[in-house]
């Protein structure tokens, strides 16, 4: 019965140069509802895509794949980034191709849930307005906490970041829709401005300032992502406290 169940799980092709990461995913993800097929070089990927038709592809910077491969197979792609780097965008949709970015080490529960959400998105099971970029997990460990009353953001490691009123309002708007994109219009209105007269570049400046604040006191990068042509999303578990 167990083997029959495993066969129904979606298949993830893992193209990662780091052997230890490949092994972690190969051994761990089957316990979270995913079958895993691995490749150690870009040369192996096209044949594996053709032969096995995986539901999603995970790749790191050590594996260089021509963009035409992803576009030809229309396969959702999960990119792994070094710890010191940050994704420029998450949830980029181009001809039904959606890309999400993760930085190891990662929680396999969250990764498996995110992969499942990503595949559902590519299959059109969610609308554009309800697009999820991170699984909603009410009891997820290592969550961020926003203390709105004291304008303080607490990182998963326990570090506290003092915010301005505008920054608190910005994070609170994201925290009310964890993992979902908050449109720029929604954000501008939450900040008390008129969309018609508001310079949207101020939002990008606000996000940049927040990232610097967090980086100054925590080793964890602020998980706020700019969603292409949509808005912003907080792509990690976060709790909102008054």
CA–CA gap between residue 100 and residue 80 (Å, rounded):
9
Helix (H) or strand (E) holding 120: helix 108-122
- DSSP-based three-state secondary structure for 26: helix
116 and 149, same domain (yes or no): no
151 and 108, same domain (yes or no): no
CA–CA gap between residue 37 and residue 95 (Å, rounded):
25
175 and 214, same domain (yes or no): yes
Say what the pLDDT of residue 103 is. Answer: 66
Say what the pLDDT of residue 64 is. Answer: 72
Say what the pLDDT of residue 228 is. Answer: 67
97 and 167, same domain (yes or no): no
Q: What is the CATH number of the domain that holds 161?
A: 1.10.10.10
Pairing of strands 231-234, 224-227: antiparallel
Say what the pLDDT of residue 168 is. Answer: 94
With respect to residue 199, please indicate whether it lies within any of the assigned structural domains: yes
Total tally of structural domains belonging to the chain: 2
CA–CA gap between residue 158 and residue 165 (Å, rounded):
21
Domain of residue 227, residue span: 144-241
Say what the pLDDT of residue 145 is. Answer: 92
Domain boundary among 122, 154, 182: 122
With respect to residue 214, please indicate whether it lies within any of the assigned structural domains: yes
- pTM for the model stands at 0.47
Tens digit of pLDDT per residue, the chain (242 long)?
333 333 457 889 988 888 888 888 888 899 888 999 998 888 888 778 777 888 888 887 667 776 656 655 667 777 776 554 444 333 433 433 455 666 666 678 888 887 887 777 666 543 343 343 433 333 334 689 999 989 999 998 889 999 999 999 999 999 988 777 888 899 999 999 998 888 988 998 999 999 999 999 988 889 888 876 678 888 888 888 87
Q: What is the CATH number of the domain that holds 91?
A: 3.40.50.2300
CA angle 59, 5, 25 (to 5 degrees): 25
CA–CA gap between residue 207 and residue 232 (Å, rounded):
9
With respect to residue 36, please indicate whether it lies within any of the assigned structural domains: yes
The answer to whether residues 147 and 163 touch, using CB atoms and an 8 Å cutoff, is: no
């Amino acid at each position: 019965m167990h083997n029959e169940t495993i066969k129904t799980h979606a298949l993830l092709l893992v193209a990662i140069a780091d052997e230890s990461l490949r092994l972690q995913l190969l051994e761990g993800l089957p316990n979270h509802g995913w079958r895993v097929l691995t490749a150690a070089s870009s040369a192996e990927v096209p044949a594996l895509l053709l032969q096995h038709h995986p539901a999603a592809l995970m790749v790191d910077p050590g594996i260089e794949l021509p963009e035409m491969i992803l576009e030809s197979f229309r396969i959702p792609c999960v990119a792994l980034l070094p710890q010191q780097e940050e994704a420029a965008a998450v949830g980029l949709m181009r001809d039904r191709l959606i890309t999400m970015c993760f930085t190891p080490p990662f929680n396999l529960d969250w990764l498996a849930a995110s992969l499942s959400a990503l595949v559902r998105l590519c299959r059109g099971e969610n609308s554009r307005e309800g697009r999820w970029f991170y699984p909603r997990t009410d009891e997820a460990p290592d969550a961020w906490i926003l203390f709105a009353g004291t304008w303080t953001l607490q990182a998963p490691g326990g570090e506290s970041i003092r915010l301005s009123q505008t920054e608190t309002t910005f994070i609170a708007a994201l925290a009310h829709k964890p993992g979902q994109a908050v449109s720029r219009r929604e954000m501008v209105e939450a900040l008390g401005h008129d969309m018609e007269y508001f310079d949207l570049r101020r939002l990008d400046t606000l996000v940049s300032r927040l990232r610097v604040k967090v980086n100054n006191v925590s080793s964890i990068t602020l998980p706020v992502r700019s969603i292409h042509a949509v808005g912003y999303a907080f792509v990690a578990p976060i709790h909102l406290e008054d």
